[in-house]
Each structure stands twice: as structure tokens, then as C-alpha cells.
């Protein structure tokens, strides 16, 4: 084995992890041209099988990033009814009054660029890559042996906070796991979280008082979970809380919870383009109010099953979030948070635990940043179970040990993300018709997620990257799913 070839191969793997695939390809081609056949060139041949797919995948993500900005400049945002937002942007000279073809209020490209340049690309309390955590603000706490649906009370929140604190070796972010009842306020929950968990934490502040919301200011280990947009328009009840959080200067977790074919277009590319556009708009507003305020891109795209309910057991849910993470890590370079590790099942069963384990492992293999909802959630985020949380932590601990022992030269795995050159037109059509369900683009792409999963499954049959870890693709194949 040539030491020179080995070192060149290691540089190629590093370039892949930095998403510099064309440079990695050139390096691999040079190795094959100049090195003899040995163990290194065998590994290089293996990487060359993937490199063109990775180059093509990154090109689609670059288009998503570019088109997301075009959504804001060419289609616009439906803020005509929000006096606060409209006045804010007009005062900043951000509105393009010369655009006569936009459906809504269009922004100036240079203003978007200016705001994004001010948005920090690093977060002070960053727990690092492939961080999995607790929390979905589920409406109900799941209690063993009880069928009654209730929120968590003060004593139960004490137990939850204590349990999370005891699992710090695998819990990377402690988000609000379930709604609380009248026995404890949201601010008091935050105090329990602060007392028991020193790592990254997230809570929503929209129902807090001004003084309570300001509790998060200047604290690197806290994120203010907030949202503003849905279907290219603001949520009226979130405008003032959003502006308040930005003005305070809290670290903002900008949440977009769009659903494919329901509140956003149906094709994967058009779906992520709209999600990305809405988060970028939130960044623009945040930077307009408070230049330099920290923002975490929390576009958490969701899919529905045949029954119309959120489908957190579906591999589609896992892969669309892995793709959203790559838009950020490969192209936009914003700190990001995704959803994953949950299940559609509502009871703590072996299958529910396996659903969550497979989702976490898949997200880890494709590479994400921060993943909320990864432990303890049930019923597509409708329930939080302390029992499931502890089981999930045990499985996560086991998976992490296996993953850490794996070779480091496997390279980056393609998702074979499907392109859609009509993505921007599809977003515009859905906006014109007022509902993605009524758009021809949605109907034409009704099977796009299914076809994407078939492509991944075919690739998984040919090439297995991490055989020691449960693989959601292979598990789906074996179960006939």
C-alpha cells in the first residue's frame, strides 16, 4: 500500500465530509491514474461509485437555496395584513415596489443578502454534529397503565427534568417535552430544566411575560423556540412574540413545521424550497429587528401517511429531514435543527422503540446537526413517555458505541435526492390557488416521495455502508414496506 496514495485517499474523505465532492473526485481520479491496484485503490473505486451522485445531490441543494430566495423576491410573502411586519420592512427599505408580477409583498434581493450576511453561522452553545435530544412539546404525557390524556403536572415535570439530567451522556438538547398543566408555569418548567441540565435547552416564550422571556437573554445554552410563517404568510398570534424575542436578543430557534402537500408543495425539492424560504424570511425579520442576533434554522419538514396523519414511522420523514440538514451543512451553513427519532405508534412497544432507533441511526449516518424529538416521543409527537425516553436512551447509548467503532473512511452516503425543475413554479401555483392540494403540481408529484424511497432501497440492496447498525432502508426492504 503506497503511503502517498493512502494519505491522498484520507484527504479525499476529508473533502467529502466538507461537501467538496468535485475536489474529492479529482483527487480520487489522480490516485487511480498513478497508483497500482491495492487496498487503497479498492477503497477509491468504492468512493467513485458514489461521487457523481453526491455532486448531483449538492447541485440540487444549491438550487433549493437559490430558489428559496427567489420565492421571497419573485413570489413574495403575504404580509399585507400584518401592519407590524409591513411597516418594519418598509422602514428598512426592504420591499421591492418595482416588482409588478409578485403575488404578495416582494423583498429586495440585496436586502435578503444583507440580512443573511449578518446572521451568525456558528452558535456559542453548539453541542456538535449528530446531537440527539428530547422534546416536542407534545400535548399529552403518556402514563403507563393510564388511558386518560392529560398534560404534565409539577411533580411529573420534576421527575422528567431529573431523569433527563441523569441521561446527559446521550441527551444533547433538552427541549420542552410535553405541555404543562395549571400546577406549573412554563417559566417554572424552564427553571427546572436549568437546574437539572447544563447542556443546550429550548423552550417557547410566546406565552411568557416580558421579564420571563428575557430570562434566556445572554445564555449560550438556551434557545428561544419561535415561529412566524406558514403557507407564505405570518401567523397573526406569533408576530408580536416573535418580534419581542428578536428584540430581547435571545438565541432564536426558527421553527417551520410545514407538511408536504398540505401546507407546502408535494415534491421533495419544492417542499424544502418553501420551508427554506420561510425560515430565511424569519431570519430577515430577526436581523432587521436586531442585527447579529443568533438564529438556528429549524426547518422540520413533515410528511403524512395514506390516512392523512403525520407519518413519523415512515422513512420518508427521516430522509426529508436528512436532506434539509444537508441544505444547511453543505450550502447555507446555518446552525440547524431537525426532527427525527419519533414513531407514529402511540404505545411503548418493541416496534415503537425500533422505529425510533432506526430513524436516529439513519439520521446519524447521513449526518445532521441537532435533532429534537429523538427520545421519548410517541404518536407522531402527540405524546411524551418517560418510560420510552429511558428505553430510547439505552438504545442510543448502544448505537453510539457501535457507530464510534466503525471505520472513519466510509465517506458520505448519497440520498439520491430527486430534482424538480418546476419547484419554483409549483410554489407559485400553490400560492395562487391558496392551497397546495388544489395545485396541478401537487397532483403530478403525488408519488414523488415513494419513487425517492424506491431509489434509496435499490441502492441499499447493492451497497451496505453500516451493516453493524440497524438500517431503516434494509429493515423496510426486509419487512416488505
Find the helix or strand (DSSP H, E) in which 241 lies: helix 239-248
Which parts of the chain register pLDDT below 50? 1, 477, 480-481
Q: Residue 98 belongs to a domain with what CATH number?
A: 3.20.20.480
CA 47 to chain centre: 27
Strand partners, 178: 138
User: Considering the domain boundaries, does residue 479 fall inside one?
Assistant: no
- The whole-angstrom separation of Cα 270 and Cα 265 is 6
Phi (first) and psi of residue 363, to 5 degrees:
-60, -40
C-alpha cell at position 240:
408580536
C-alpha cell at position 75:
413570489
Three-class DSSP labels, 198-231:
CCEEEEECCCCCHHHHHHHCCCCCEEEEECCEEC
What helix, strand, coil percent values describe the chain, rounded to 5?
50, 15, 35
C-alpha cell at position 216:
434566556
Q: Per the structure, how many domains does the chain have?
A: 1
Q: Report the 10 Å Cβ neighbour count for 361.
A: 24
- The whole-angstrom separation of Cα 271 and Cα 466 is 29
What is the predicted pLDDT for the residue at 461?
A: 84
C-alpha cell at position 423:
419547484
- The whole-angstrom separation of Cα 9 and Cα 24 is 9
What is the predicted pLDDT for the residue at 136?
A: 84
Q: What is the pLDDT of residues 424-471, one digit of tens each?
A: 999 999 999 999 998 999 999 999 999 999 999 899 888 888 877 766
SS3 for 83? helix
Is residue 469 within 8 Å of residue 399, measured between CB atoms? yes
The answer to whether the Cα torsion of 468, 473, 476, 480 is positive or negative is: negative
Side-chain half-sphere CA neighbours of 137 within 13 A: 11
- The whole-angstrom separation of Cα 197 and Cα 277 is 33
User: Considering the domain boundaries, does residue 432 fall inside one?
Assistant: yes
User: Considering the domain boundaries, does residue 340 fall inside one?
Assistant: yes
SS3 for 384? strand
Q: What's the chain's length in residues?
A: 481
Query: ∠273-275-277 over CA atoms, to 5°?
Result: 65
In the block, cell 487511480 appears at 32
What is the predicted pLDDT for the residue at 481?
A: 46
SS3 for 136? coil
Phi (first) and psi of residue 336, to 5 degrees:
-140, 155
What is the predicted pLDDT for the residue at 473?
A: 55
User: Considering the domain boundaries, does residue 133 fall inside one?
Assistant: yes
- The whole-angstrom separation of Cα 154 and Cα 416 is 46
Residue-number span of the structural domain to which 316 is assigned: 1-453
Q: Report the 10 Å Cβ neighbour count for 260.
A: 27
Amino acid at each position: 500500500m503506497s503511503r502517498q496514495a493512502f494519505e491522498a485517499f484520507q484527504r479525499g474523505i476529508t473533502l467529502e465530509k466538507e461537501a467538496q465532492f468535485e475536489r474529492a473526485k479529482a483527487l480520487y481520479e489522480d490516485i487511480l491514474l498513478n497508483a497500482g491496484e491495492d487496498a487503497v485503490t479498492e477503497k477509491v473505486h468504492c468512493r467513485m461509485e458514489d461521487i457523481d451522485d453526491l455532486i448531483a445531490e449538492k447541485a440540487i441543494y444549491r438550487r433549493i437555496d437559490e430558489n428559496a430566495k427567489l420565492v421571497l423576491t419573485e413570489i413574495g410573502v403575504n404580509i399585507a395584513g400584518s401592519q407590524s411586519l409591513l411597516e418594519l420592512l418598509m422602514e428598512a427599505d426592504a420591499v421591492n415596489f418595482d416588482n409588478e408580477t409578485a403575488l404578495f409583498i416582494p423583498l429586495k434581493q440585496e436586502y435578503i443578502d444583507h440580512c443573511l450576511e449578518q446572521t451568525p453561522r456558528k452558535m456559542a452553545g453548539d453541542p456538535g454534529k449528530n446531537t440527539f435530544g428530547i422534546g416536542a412539546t407534545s400535548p399529552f404525557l403518556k402514563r403507563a397503565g393510564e388511558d386518560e390524556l392529560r398534560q404534565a403536572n409539577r411533580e411529573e415535570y420534576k421527575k422528567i427534568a431529573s431523569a433527563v439530567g441523569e441521561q446527559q451522556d446521550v441527551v444533547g438538547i433538552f427541549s420542552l417535552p410535553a405541555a404543562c398543566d395549571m400546577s406549573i408555569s412554563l417559566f417554572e418548567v424552564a427553571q427546572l430544566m436549568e437546574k437539572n441540565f447544563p447542556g443546550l435547552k429550548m423552550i417557547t416564550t410566546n406565552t411568557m411575560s416580558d421579564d420571563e422571556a428575557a430570562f434566556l437573554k445572554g445564555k449560550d445554552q438556551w434557545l428561544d423556540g419561535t415561529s412566524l410563517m406558514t403557507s407564505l404568510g405570518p401567523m397573526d398570534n406569533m408576530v408580536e412574540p416573535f418580534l419581542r424575542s428578536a428584540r430581547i436578543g435571545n438565541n432564536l430557534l426558527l421553527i417551520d413545521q410545514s407538511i408536504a402537500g398540505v401546507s407546502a408543495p408535494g415534491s421533495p425539492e419544492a417542499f424544502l424550497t418553501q420551508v427554506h424560504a420561510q425560515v430565511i424570511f424569519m431570519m430577515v425579520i430577526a436581523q432587521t429587528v436586531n442585527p447579529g442576533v443568533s438564529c438556528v434554522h429549524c426547518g422540520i419538514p413533515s410528511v403524512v401517511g395514506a390516512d392523512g396523519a403525520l407519518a413519523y414511522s415512515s422513512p420518508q420523514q427521516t430522509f426529508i429531514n436528512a436532506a434539509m440538514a444537508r441544505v444547511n451543512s453543505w450550502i447555507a451553513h446555518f446552525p440547524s435543527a431537525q426532527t427525527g427519532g419519533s414513531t407514529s405508534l402511540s404505545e411503548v412497544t418493541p416496534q415503537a422503540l425500533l422505529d425510533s432507533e432506526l430513524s436516529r441511526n439513519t439520521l446519524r449516518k447521513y449526518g445532521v446537526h441537532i435533532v429534537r424529538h429523538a427520545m421519548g416521543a410517541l404518536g407522531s409527537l402527540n405524546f411524551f413517555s418517560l418510560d420510552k425516553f429511558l428505553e430510547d436512551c439505552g438504545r442510543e447509548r448502544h448505537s453510539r458505541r457501535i457507530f464510534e467503532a466503525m471505520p472513519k473512511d466510509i465517506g458520505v452516503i448519497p440520498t439520491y435526492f430527486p430534482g424538480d425543475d418546476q419547484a419554483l413554479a409549483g410554489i407559485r401555483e400553490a400560492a395562487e390557488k391558496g392551497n397546495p392540494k388544489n395545485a396541478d403540481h401537487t397532483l403530478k408529484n403525488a408519488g414523488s416521495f415513494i419513487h425517492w424511497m424506491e431509489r434509496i432501497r435499490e441502492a441499499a440492496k447493492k451497497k451496505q455502508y453500516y451493516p453493524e447498525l440497524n438500517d431503516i432502508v434494509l429493515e423496510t426492504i426486509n419487512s416488505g414496506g
